[in-house]
Amino acid sequence: MPEFQKNYTVRRVEHFEANIVRLSLDASDIAAVARPGQFVMVACGTGQDPLLRRPFSIHSRYPDGGIQLLLRVVGRGTAMLAETAVGQQISLVGPLGKGFGIPPDGEVCLVGGGIGCAPLFFLAQWLVEQGVFPLVLLGAGSAGEHAALVPGLRDLGCAVHVSTDDGSLGHHGFVTDLLPALSGKVQKVYACGPVPMMAAVARFCGDRIACEVSLETHMACGLGACLGCAIPIPGRTDAYRHVCKHGPVFQATEVVWP
C-alpha cells in the first residue's frame, strides 16, 4: 500500500454548525489507494507549536479526484485547520492504518455518533460502489450537526435515520435507541463515534451480528513507531495493540469496552 508525505492544496472549506468544518483537498494520489476507515496525519500549521500532526480519518473521496476531511474544532490544532483558506496547502501523511472490512452478503448497517461519523461517508461511498446500500443511523447533539452528512448519504441512495440529544431532529435520544428496530437480516454493523456509543453497539451485536468499530486515540506518528496509541487486548495483560497499525478499525470483539 503506497503512502505519501506531501503538501496538498485546499480546494474548498465548508463550515457547519457546532464548529464542524469540511476540508476538500486535491489529494488524488491518496484518494486512488485509500480504503474507508484509513486515516491521514495532518500538520496543523507549519511551525513547531503545535508540534505533532493530528490523525483524521478520510471522510470522503470526491468526484474530481481528492479527499475530504471532516473535523470538529476541539483545540488549538483543529482551530488552525479550521482557519485554512482555499488555495492554501496542508501537509498530509497517508493513507495509514487498516480500514473497514468487506461487507457480507446481506444487509449492513452503519452507526455513527458526533464527529465520529466522519469515516462512515467514505464507507458508504465504497459500499454503494459494490451495490450494497447500507442503512445509516446517525446521532448528534442537534439538527445542525447532521447537515454535513445526511444530505450526501441520501444522495448516495442510503436510508438514513437520525437522532439528536436535544430532539431538534429525528429521534430524541441516543442513536443506539434505534438499534432494536433493525431488521433481523442485518449481517454486519460498522460503527464509529464516542466510546460509550460503540460499546452499546458492540453489546447489541454480541455474537449474533458482525461488528467493526473505528477507534480514536492520540497519536504522535500514525506509523507504528511511537507506540503512543496503545489499547488493551481482551483477556491479556502482557501486550497491547496499537490503534494506528492494528486499527483504527477493529472487530468489536477485539476491544476492551468500559
Query: Which lies closer to another protein via its Cβ, residue 159 or residue 227?
Result: 227
End-to-end CA distance of the chain: 33
* CA-only gyration radius of the chain, Å: 17
Q: Which is nearer to another protein, 196 or 232 (CB)?
A: 232
Least separation, in Å, of the C-beta of 69 and another protein?
17
Least distance between another protein and beta carbon 218 (Å): 6
Residue 113 CA to residue 193 CA, distance in Å, equals: 4
**Would you say 15 or 76 has its CB closer to another protein?**
76
Nearer to another protein, 48 or 130 (CB): 48
CB crowding 4-19: b at 16 or more within 10 Å, else e:
eeeebebbebeebeee
The nearest distance, CB 183 to another protein, in angstroms, is 37
Nearest to 28 by CA among 69, 71, 62: 62
Residue found under cell 495483560: 237
Host H or E run for residue 155: helix 150-156
Give one DSSP letter per residue of 41-106, joined into a string. Answer: EE--SSSSSS-S-EEEE--EEETTTEEEEEEE--SHHHHHHHT--TT-EEEEEEEESB-PPPPPSS
Torsion angles phi and psi, residue 190, rounded to 5:
-110, 125
**Interface positions with another protein (CB under 8 A):** 1-3, 5, 41, 43, 48-53, 93, 217-221, 223-232, 237-240
Q: Judged by CB, which is closer to another protein: 144, or 224?
A: 224
Which of 84, 217 has the CB closer to another protein? 217
As measured in angstroms, the least distance from the Cβ of 80 to another protein is 13
Query: At its nearest, how many Å lie between another protein and the CB of residue 244?
Result: 10
Rounded Cα–Cα distance for residues 9 and 34 (Å)? 18
**Closest separation in Å from C-beta 84 to another protein:** 18
Residue whose CB is less far from another protein, 155 or 238 = 238
Q: What is the three-class DSSP state of 172?
A: strand
In whole angstroms, how close is the CB of 98 to another protein at the nearest point?
14
